[in-house]
Amino acid sequence: MNVLICAYIFSGLSRGSLVTSMSTVIITSYHKYSFIKFELTKPVISAVSVAVLTGSALGSCVAAPLINRFGRKRTLIVFSIVQIISEILCIIPVHWVYLFVFRIVAGVASNFIMSVVPMLCAEFIQPKLRGIVGSVLNASICCGIVLTNLVQYFICLQDQLYWIIIIIPVASSILTLIISFKLQETSQLVGKVENTTKIFQKQYTKCFIVAFGLGFMLSGTGINTVLQYSTIIFKNSFNSKKSSSIGALISSSINMISSFIAVPIIRKIHRKKIISSGFSVMLIAYILYIISQQNFILQDQSNTLVIIASCLISFACASSSSPMCYIVNSEVFPLAIKTKMMVIVMFINFSSLITITFIFPLISLTNNVFIYICFVIMMLIVLMIYLPETKGKTLQENSDKMTNVQLQKTVIDEQNDDSVSITIADTRQCVEIALQK
């Protein structure tokens, strides 16, 4: 269990620092020292900003078959290496297209890592501890964001030091690689069951509806744009040349603190109550955003409202939708289709993130906020109706609630070529059956 927690911490640090390592300030510094000169336009900034998310979406398309074929542990090792190499190459100032391509590669690798680690958590950690351990992943992502913004604060006025921003992602990726060698591999029996199970069946309809809700639950809150474009949002909020960096640091720090506050909350309160409470706070924050952009509001009052709204968004997301997205995604789906459904959730998540992150600089803050409000209301309705309560439940209990049947799958004994009917309860049961044979 200690090894899994370390994997959560290092992979989370890597993810958080990677996504926020190319803010507008860093991209501007990269532009000044690029070997091949280019015009730094808003579409270019948007493209570079969504590159990691684009890679994550592409990775989701191929994650399930590769993870099932090569195993959780081997996949984690290979893509940790890929992420380290791509992160280092990203910092070489060539051209925005070069940066875009290698950020995509880093995003693909990061998606595989963030898919495998929650799977291992759900399969090897006791039901009562899954929520706590899952919240560790969210907290480590928030810590990665804070550390990146802290580095940015010190180098934002020194363009030649922009490359320092990549140290945290590279270091945490190296630690993820080291710890991955000590992780326990899931039984090959699980991979056989997943590979032979077809997900497009009537009994899995509810799984697809929940996957849709979970996929939009995190991206629809707008937290990624608040953190990714915090240097733009807070540009005029403080009377300082470092206003953008100060605002980004404040927002990400609240995000991190809230993630630690979420740990005891997740342990005591049911999942659906946490989700509904968090979404309610977000709606209040969105209203403050809209008010701050009205003409009758003075500039100082507008800046104050923007700061308050951003802090509320960071608090609500870090203590509700963000940890719930990872925790529920890893425990709600039947084991026979878990890998496939988890990557579907991630694909929906990253696809919507790409869209809202790309269009953020191109439209007004008010219009962006209206999009988030629609997402939040829609996802709240879907999840409250279709998502079962998973707190303290075994994987088999969650499976029964999602399918309303006792799932039984056939696994082929390669040695005797016999068919053996087994019930998919969890990984430990699969391992026991394999050992008995």
Strand, coil or helix: what is 239? coil
Q: What is the pTM of this model?
A: 0.69
- What pLDDT score does 172 carry? 92
Half-sphere exposure of 294 (CA within 13 A, CB side): 9
Say if CB 54 and CB 107 are below 8 A apart: yes
Average pLDDT over residues 54-64: 82
Of 49-63, 188-202, 246-260, 339-353, the one with minimum mean pLDDT is: 188-202
Query: Is the pLDDT higher at 39 or at 226?
Result: 39
Length of the chain as a residue count = 437
- What pLDDT score does 425 carry? 40
- From CA 397, how far away is CA 417, in angstroms rounded? 31
Average pLDDT over residues 127-149: 79
The per-residue pLDDT of the chain, averaged, comes to 77
Q: How confident is the model at residue 186 (pLDDT cuts 50, 70, 90)?
A: low
Domains of the chain, first to last: 2-401 (1.20.1250.20), 402-436 (no CATH)
Q: Is residue 433 predicted with pLDDT exceeding 60?
A: no
CA distances from 193 to 12, 186, 264, 430 (A): 29, 12, 35, 10
Q: How confident is the model at residue 175 (pLDDT cuts 50, 70, 90)?
A: very high
Q: Is residue 152 predicted with pLDDT exceeding 70?
A: yes
- What pLDDT score does 418 carry? 36
Whose tokens are 């409202």? That residue is 305
- What pLDDT score does 197 carry? 58
- What pLDDT score does 238 carry? 58
**Amino acid of residue 166:** I
- What pLDDT score does 120 carry? 77
- From CA 253, how far away is CA 173, in angstroms rounded? 22
Assigned token pair, 315: 């608090």
Q: Is residue 257 predicted with pLDDT exceeding 90?
A: no
> Over pLDDT 90: what percentage of the chain?
10
Nearest to 221 by CA among 103, 113, 315, 291: 315
- pLDDT tens across 267-309, in order? 778 888 888 888 888 888 888 888 877 766 666 777 778 778 8
- What pLDDT score does 406 carry? 47
Strands 408-413 and 418-423: antiparallel
CA distances from 87 to 12, 178, 189 (A): 15, 17, 35
Q: Kindly tell me the sign of the dihedral angle through the C-alpha atoms of 313, 221, 100, 13.
A: positive
Average pLDDT over residues 239-246: 66
